[in-house]
Structure 1
């Protein structure tokens, strides 16, 4: 697993988490109240200005961009 954090133009931050398995791409689902898992991407989607997944020969990277605190998003 690899984690990278970088500051972008406009006060944004980009966070990347990479792992060597190119399969099992993450999918945004809506967990029911009684579900014990399935909330990770929903939380990410709620706080990130944008996010995505990049497939590579050596695995995949899930990334998100976060706005600087106090700045408007979108």
Structure 2
């Protein structure tokens, strides 16, 4: 996370839905909200090992953001 500011929640796309909507997964769970493509920012070519093995429980964006702020 060294090169990502605290306003960014690193996630990976796990499912593409119609109308350019996406389900995302954070390292601590699947986000319970879908996102439009224009709400997403590519992480670039950096490798995020913490996103390789993610938990499958469902969490809110708010909970993911709290976890992110506590871990940095």
Q: TM-score, normalised by structure 2?
A: 0.25
Higher helix share: 2
Larger radius of gyration: 1
Q: TM-score, normalised by structure 1?
A: 0.25
